[in-house]
């Protein structure tokens, strides 16, 4: 992405320099050349602003897409984590109940043996 920006910037800079040099060495009088340079400079500025707007819009759309993907991924990770936590909690509860029941049976058996 950075290489494209640098290329576009270099291309724009080269175009501006080429246009300016071409007009300066053109056979037209200085006042006409300066007026033409001014007009073309304004046109270039307008085109650059339009391009900047397009790039900004594209960047905003890309950022919105990235944010959406991150939110979706985060939601998926949270859901998986919650599910794993609930699974482990259920297994722990079952293990506790099994141990408790075994202990109670053992106590009952020992009590019966004493009687």
| CB-CB contact of 23 with 36 (8 Å) | yes
**Enclosing domain of residue 110:** 2-114
Look over the chain and give the mean of its residue pLDDT values, rounded to a whole number.
86
Count of structural domains within the chain = 1
Distances (CA, A) of 9 to 3, 23, 55: 10, 21, 13
**Spatial distance between the Cα atoms of 37 and 29, rounded to a whole number of angstroms:** 12
Block residue for tokens 């594209």: 58
**pLDDT tens digits for 18-55?**
877 776 676 666 787 778 888 988 998 899 889 988 99
pLDDT at 1 over 70: no
Mean pLDDT, rounded, for 88-101: 94
- Taking the C-alpha atoms of residue 57 and residue 63, their distance in angstroms, rounded to an integer, is 10
């Amino acid at each position: 992405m950075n290489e494209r920006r640098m290329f576009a910037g270099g291309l724009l800079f080269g175009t501006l320099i080429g246009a300016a040099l071409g007009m300066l060495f053109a056979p037209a009088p200085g006042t006409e050349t300066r007026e033409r340079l001014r007009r073309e400079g304004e046109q270039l500025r307008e085109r650059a602003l339009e391009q900047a707007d397009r790039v900004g819009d594209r960047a905003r759309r890309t950022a919105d897409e990235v944010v959406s993907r991150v939110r979706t991924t985060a939601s998926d990770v949270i859901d998986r984590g919650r599910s794993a936590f609930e699974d482990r909690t259920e297994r722990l509860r079952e293990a506790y109940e099994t141990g408790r029941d075994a202990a109670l049976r053992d106590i009952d058996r020992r009590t019966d043996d004493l009687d």
